[in-house]
Structure 1
């Protein structure tokens, strides 16, 4: 299995395709991170990277986020960040040239490259993996935008106007009354929208306007 391969050496490489090609097991991002940061051999890491159901740039964000907590040695960190930077360069070239043959090079940099840094002999610490802060922020922004569209649509239906009109003309007015809990409660009931969701959208809109 993966762990057995990870403890092997390069002589096992020809068997990796047979082992994982047949099984085609979809690995999780956490399996990949464990391989990158903690396995002594990096041979199995590439096999996981080929099967993980996450795009390479997202993998890079995961590795980048957890790198400081895994590699305590400054020289190891510096070398690992160099590999991440090289991977990022390859991904940028793909976007500009649409040369997808470069994808494997970029993926190897952010997985095998970072994994190989352990051979410098520095200390590797075991820590719980953290979700990338950039992805968390993007997910939250996406969520609040979905809520805003839903609120605008339902308030628009109540007032017989479009969601665009609600967003551009009504939300600024609602923002002025965001502290009026009775008003928010009544509007949420009449517009058939959750009070917490309505309050969150109005508060988010208010912060955007004031920032």
Structure 2
């Protein structure tokens, strides 16, 4: 990205750089450096511009608040699509789709596609298949529906409405399954479907094909929900230990990253390689007296805390 910020396109025109969800990024200092040094315009998007770590970025950028599209605007978009696809749609039907989407243009287009399948005419009666999208479905509601009930439609629908990444939802289900499912066979079936969902989530990343999301969502919702045959236990849902452990190990992970960056410059390799291969190596060398703490400090500019981490890791 830094290289792109300094160069023009083939025809000599400036490039437009877009960085999405900057508030979710960990390397904010790099973004700030990019903004200060860029020769090309940059657009940053964020879910929460008031985030404390974006304070300096706010001072360097012009803020534009993008509001949710109104139903009227969504209707115009849907009309244009219908015109391009030679589909006749009643005005009231398009309004129904737009209102149902609650400001989500993509959801409205998906609903239009669903209704218009194998049709060249859309009426108000055709919109009956639509259901209200609760954009704020809570994870506890999702867990209650999937783990406590046995209804495919409800499980799939509430999972679709959940405003949370699927991999995070997977963690919640994984954490709470043993507390709710008392039968071992039920638990085995549920984890089978959850593991299959995890495979599809991995394929989304490796193949960059988001169509797999529908399979992952269905497997971890309907699949897990229908796995139960025996009795269930009514327990208070637990916060995933994985996230708790991440918060506890944040300091150690930050030190690892700092060591990785410092050593990577000197050893001409990636920070990831430093963390996985060189830190264990230097630990052995330190413990055997092959190298000294002073050597690490002078050669790699490591602080006492960072050297302690290598020694004790």
Contact kept in structure 2, 1:32 and 1:49, CA below 8 Å: yes
Pick the aligned partner of 1:51 from 161, 185, 200: 161
Tell me how far apart the structure 2 counterparts of residues 171 and 52 of structure 1 sit (CA, whole Å).
42
Structure 2 equivalent of residue 129 of structure 1: 237
- What's the TM-score, normalizing by structure 1? 0.60
Structure 2 equivalent of residue 192 of structure 1: none
Pick the aligned partner of 1:19 from 131, 136, 139: 131
Structure 2 equivalent of residue 92 of structure 1: 202
Tell me how far apart the structure 1 counterparts of residues 144 and 217 of structure 2 sit (CA, whole Å).
16
Pick the aligned partner of 1:69 from 179, 201, 204: 179
Tell me how far apart the structure 1 counterparts of residues 241 and 127 of structure 2 sit (CA, whole Å).
37
From the superposition, tell whether residues 15 and 143 of structure 1 become closer, same or farther in structure 2 (CA, over 3 Å).
farther
Contact kept in structure 2, 1:20 and 1:47, CA below 8 Å: no
Tell me how far apart the structure 1 counterparts of residues 237 and 225 of structure 2 sit (CA, whole Å).
16
Give how far 1:138 is off. Answer: 1.6
Contact kept in structure 2, 1:38 and 1:124, CA below 8 Å: yes
Tell me how far apart the structure 2 counterparts of residues 61 and 128 of structure 1 sit (CA, whole Å).
16
Give how far 1:170 is off. Answer: 4.1
Contact kept in structure 1, 2:180 and 2:233, CA below 8 Å: yes
Contact kept in structure 2, 1:35 and 1:42, CA below 8 Å: no
Please give the root-mean-square deviation of Cα atoms over the aligned residues, in Å: 3.1
Structure 2 equivalent of residue 169 of structure 1: 303
From the superposition, tell whether residues 126 and 27 of structure 1 become closer, same or farther in structure 2 (CA, over 3 Å).
same
Contact kept in structure 1, 2:146 and 2:225, CA below 8 Å: yes
Give how far 1:206 is off. Answer: 5.0
Give how far 1:129 is off. Answer: 0.9
* Number of residues of Structure 1 aligned to a counterpart in Structure 2: 148
From the superposition, tell whether residues 70 and 137 of structure 1 become closer, same or farther in structure 2 (CA, over 3 Å).
same
Secondary structure of the 2:226 match is helix
Structure scoring higher RCO (CA < 8 A, sep ≥ 6) equals 1
Tell me how far apart the structure 2 counterparts of residues 135 and 77 of structure 1 sit (CA, whole Å).
22
- List gaps (5 residues or longer) in structure 1: 1-13, 150-163, 173-204
- List gaps (5 residues or longer) in structure 2: 1-125, 258-296
From the superposition, tell whether residues 40 and 169 of structure 1 become closer, same or farther in structure 2 (CA, over 3 Å).
closer
- What's the TM-score, normalizing by structure 2? 0.42
